[in-house]
Structure 1
Amino acid sequence: MKKILFAFSSTAFFMIASIVTVKAQDSTMKAEVMPAAVQQDIVDIAGGSPEHTMLVKAITDANLTKVFKMNGPYTVFAPTNAAFEKIPESDRTKLMKNKGELAKTIKYHVVGGNWNSTTLMAAIKQGNGVVELPTLAGSKLKATVEEGKVKLTDENGNALYVTNADIMASNGVIHIVDAVAMPMQQVTAAKK
């Protein structure tokens, strides 16, 4: 009986020691990994992504780096290089050269506040399937859910989908999108 009790006690001790060790390692990993990731702001994270070189260039060319480095919080719907390449080359070249339109287009991807996927989905549900998100460009993006994915619709009716959500930054959250949202073009009336 003493051998059984000793074997049981030893086993229990090693199980508890293993659990404590795993918990300590888990806590250590979180302490080491999480703060480093969260200390990076939106520009730092985008700058470290080979899929977002066009976005970073657009932010820089439009003189918006300081805006994206501010405290926030901001939610950025970050188009990939492939998303920018969907814009016809001649239109993309014009956009990149026109600093005012470029700034407006980039700001159209930024929403004030921390709209992580949980918050966004809850707002869509509360809005009976749709929520309008006011952007820094002064326009709105319409968010809905289609086939389980968050779909954003710009003022022109173009759709973009969130392909990767909840990349946390020190000043907000980033959601990767597969297209570039385009604000409505200002049309000036022709003089008669």
Structure 2
Amino acid sequence: MLRRTFIALATTTAMSSVAFADNHEMDIVDTAVAAGTFTTLVAAVEAAGLVDTLKSEGPFTVFAPTDEAFAALPEGTVEGLLADPEALAAILTYHVVPGAVMSTDLTDGMTATTVNGADITIGTEGGVTVNDANVVTADIEASNGVIHVIDAVILSPM
């Protein structure tokens, strides 16, 4: 689910920065809930049974699609995934990399193995991307890792 996404969008970045200010004492799930722009992601994490995992010690790096990213998927995609927890978990874990990876750790063309076992590719030319998704807000620290906000859902190659 993570394959080229990371380009800054000024409006989203400005709004997300305010929503995430000083949240590094909360875990990844609580930080996403507090932001208010990840209701679909949080519902999907709950439906896939991944809440306890993402609230655990970690650390994790989560490439978090916004509600707008989920809304951009073809009609029926989200509903179909919510009805198939195994497929949903595979896609969600494709957005998670073990360890805390900050934007300063990224290099153009690097790959990272996600929690679901598939690799994502990072781009840094003209903005940061993970596969085909743009990173619109980077380095949101949580108590158990880091969140990078992306503008698309990265669908797993599996």
TM-score range, shorter chain: 0.7 to 0.9
Q: Distance in 1 between matches of 2:129 and 2:30?
A: 26
Structure 1 stretch displaced more, 74-83 or 91-100: 91-100
Residue 29 of structure 1 is matched in structure 2 by none
Output the TM-score relative to the length of structure 2.
Answer: 0.84
Alignment counterpart, residue 150 of structure 1, candidates 114, 121, 128: 128
Distance 2:149 2:25 in 1: 19
Per-residue Cα deviation, 1:28-86 (whole angstroms, up to 9, x for no partner): xxxxx95xx32200000001122100000000000000110111111000000000011
Measured in 2, the distance between the counterparts of 1:105 and 1:53 equals 16
SS in 1 for 2:86: helix
2:53 to 63, 67, 79: 67
Q: Superposition pairs for residues 38-49 of structure 1, below 5 Å?
A: 38-49=24-35
Determine which of 117, 135, 154 is the counterpart of 1:138: 117
Q: One-letter code of the match for 2:81?
A: L
What corresponds to 1:101 in structure 2? 87
Amino acid at match of 1:138: G
Q: Answer whether contact 2:65 2:153 (CA < 8 A) is retained.
A: yes
What is aligned with 1:20? Answer: none
Matched to 2:33, the amino acid is G
Amino acid at match of 1:42: I
Corresponding residue number in structure 2 for 1:8: none
Q: Could you list the runs of 5+ residues in structure 2 that have no partner in the other structure?
A: 1-20
2:64 matched to 1:86? no
Q: What do the CA deviations read for 1:118-155 (whole angstroms, capped 9, x no partner)?
A: 112xxx1xxxx3111110011111001131x11111xx
Local SS of the residue matching 2:128: strand
Structure 2 counterpart of 1:156: none
Secondary structure, counterpart of 2:24 in structure 1? helix
Point out the structure with the larger helix share: 1
Max radius of gyration: which structure? 1
The 8 Å contact of residues 37 and 66 in structure 2, kept in 1 or not, is answered as yes
Amino acid at match of 2:80: K
Question: Structure 1: which 5+ runs fail to align?
Answer: 1-32, 154-158, 186-192
Letter in 2 for 1:167: I
With CA pairs under 8 Å and 6+ residues apart, which has the higher RCO, 1 or 2? Answer: 2
Please show how residues 5-44 of structure 1 align to structure 2 within 5 Å: 37-44=23-30
For residues 157 and 103 of structure 2, the distance between their equivalents in structure 1, rounded to whole angstroms, comes to 26
Match of 1:170 in 2: 143
Structure 1 residue ranges (4+ consecutive) displaced by more than 3 angstroms after TM superposition: none
Following the alignment from structure 2 to structure 1, what is the Cα–Cα distance between the partners of residues 105 and 62? 14
RMSD: 1.3
Q: Give me the identity figure in percent.
A: 38
In 1, the alpha carbon distance for the partners of 2:79 and 2:114 equals 24
Q: CA deviation at 1:96?
A: 1.5
The match for 1:13 is: none
TM-score (norm 1): 0.69
